[in-house]
């Protein structure tokens, strides 16, 4: 079927599991804001159901239509018209860049031979600046939409490929992921910490210190684009991070090259605050005054053998709860995800609490006090949804108080 949604020519084709034409049309009307948030104005969008063949999708791609799944379209988030969505599905960003990732570190700081930076709490962002045109790409290849940052990057005199973090700074001067997800692009700062290409030359193989020197030649600190400072004294930076309630710090080995898409020992992250992503695999109904709303999200992480439960967490506000519930309704299943390993006691507990299972497609950010001895979250606090992270990448990360070097 074809329908005009907020000025977009949206076509839904194929079979949507468990839906009649009438209920599918009703869902499409209700999802108009989500669909609008998933594409740029004027884009022709093909929303595909479960049984769509390659013939239709290939034909759509040849004429420039954006092809997304029904669930993917629903994972967008409505945004004010003057700001646009944080993520622009279907926007062209060139070859996908898998940024280098840090390995979680436990124990004393590694000491000499390392440089240290603040661990920023935002969206990882690779910026391609070429011929006066700038594109922003998330960690998993989505186009990010921060027009004010783009305008400042367009002023760079040299073509380059930059790596950094898109953050929102709160009143205390800390990067705030919750603030970022609610800012919708206003007041965001792009903190740059590496360069991959400059003047058409690939510099990933240059040592860390040479790349940082080049970065300072390319980028001057501005209002919205700033270079992440690096320090030799990791203990002093760790103390500063602890006193200012920052998420943590990152240690980078001197002389190391940029390993695109790899998580290895050359970059180490030391967390002071327990916060990470989780996959939503179900939800429990609200009680008393919250009937018809989400009581708690059922969270999981991946391990080598599939997925395991990590605990439960409420949502931050009634508005966010309603948005999340709208997304989860389209992902509901009658049974738990096949990859999720449940003990007999866990199955009994989930039946008792009326858990509604969903396909593992939605990723959320959660802050918590610690992991319990049985692998559950202690005092979790919902921070927001992660549209820049893939469910398959979510694994349990260490949470500890970093210790001083011996």
Q: Is 14 left (phi over 0), alpha (psi -120 to 50) or beta?
A: left
Nearest-angstrom CA–CA distance, 182 and 184 = 6
Q: Please report, for residues 7, 173, 314, 398, the alpha-carbon distance to residue 235 in angstroms, rounded to integers and kept in the order given.
A: 55, 20, 36, 20
Q: Which two tokens stand for residue 10?
A: 């949206």
Nearest-angstrom CA–CA distance, 69 and 133 = 29
Task: Count Cβ neighbours within 10 Å for each residue of 35-45 and write b for 16 or more, e otherwise.
Answer: bbbbbbeebeb
Asked if residues 391 and 363 have their Cβ atoms less than 8 Å apart, the reply is yes
Asked if residues 53 and 67 have their Cβ atoms less than 8 Å apart, the reply is no
Asked if residues 380 and 312 have their Cβ atoms less than 8 Å apart, the reply is yes
DSSP character string of 86-124: SEETT---SS-----EEEE--SB---TTEEEEE---SEE
Asked if residues 128 and 94 have their Cβ atoms less than 8 Å apart, the reply is yes
N residues, the chain: 406
List residues with catalytic annotation: 119
**Could you say which DSSP state residue 340 is in?**
B
Q: Which two tokens stand for residue 177?
A: 């992921």
Place of tokens 């011996």: 406
Task: Count Cβ neighbours within 10 Å for each residue of 180-214 and write b for 16 or more, e otherwise.
Answer: bbeebbeebbbbbbbbbbbeeeebeebebeebbeb
Asked if residues 71 and 330 have their Cβ atoms less than 8 Å apart, the reply is yes
Asked if residues 122 and 166 have their Cβ atoms less than 8 Å apart, the reply is yes
* Residues near 206 by beta carbon (within 8 Å), at least 6 away in sequence: 214, 257, 258
Sign of torsion over alpha carbons 307, 346, 376, 298: positive
């Amino acid at each position: 079927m074809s329908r005009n949604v907020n000025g977009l020519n949206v076509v839904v084709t194929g079979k949507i599991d468990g839906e009649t034409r009438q209920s599918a049309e009703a869902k499409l009307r209700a999802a108009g804001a989500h669909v609008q948030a998933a594409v740029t104005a004027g884009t022709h969008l093909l929303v595909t159901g479960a049984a769509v063949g390659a013939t239709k999708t290939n034909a759509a791609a040849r004429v420039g239509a954006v092809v997304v799944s029904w669930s993917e379209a629903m994972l967008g988030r409505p945004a004010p018209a003057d700001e646009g969505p944080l993520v622009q599905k279907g926007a062209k960003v060139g070859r996908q860049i898998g940024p280098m990732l840090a390995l979680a570190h436990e124990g004393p700081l590694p000491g000499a031979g390392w440089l240290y930076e603040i661990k920023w709490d935002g969206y990882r962002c690779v910026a391609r600046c070429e011929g006066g045109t700038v594109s922003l790409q998330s960690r998993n290849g989505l186009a990010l939409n921060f027009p004010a940052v783009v305008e400042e990057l367009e002023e760079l005199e040299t073509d380059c490929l930059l790596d950094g973090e898109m953050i929102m700074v709160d009143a205390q001067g800390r990067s705030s992921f919750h603030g970022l997800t609610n800012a919708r692009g206003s007041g965001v700062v792009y903190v740059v910490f590496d360069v991959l290409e400059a003047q058409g030359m690939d510099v990933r193989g240059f040592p860390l210190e040479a790349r940082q020197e080049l970065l300072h030649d390319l980028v001057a600190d501005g209002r919205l684009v700033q270079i992440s400072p690096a320090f030799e004294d990791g203990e002093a930076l760790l103390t500063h991070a602890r006193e200012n309630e920052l998420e943590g710090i990152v240690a980078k080995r001197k002389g190391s090259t940029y390993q695109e898409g790899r998580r290895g020992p050359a970059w180490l992250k030391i967390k002071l605050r327990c916060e990470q992503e989780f996959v939503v695999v179900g939800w429990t109904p609200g009680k008393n005054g919250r009937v018809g709303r989400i009581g708690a999200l059922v969270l999981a992480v991946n391990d080598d053998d599939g997925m395991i439960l990590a605990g439960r967490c409420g949502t931050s506000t009634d508005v966010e709860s309603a948005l999340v519930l709208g997304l989860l309704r389209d992902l509901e299943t009658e049974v738990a995800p096949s990859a999720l390993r449940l003990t007999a006691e866990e199955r009994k507990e989930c039946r008792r609490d009326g858990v509604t299972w969903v396909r593992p497609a939605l990723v959320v950010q959660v802050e918590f006090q610690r992991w319990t001895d049985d692998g559950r979250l202690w005092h979790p606090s919902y921070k927001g949804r992660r549209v820049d992270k893939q469910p398959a990448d979510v694994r349990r990360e260490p949470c500890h108080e970093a210790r001083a070097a011996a």
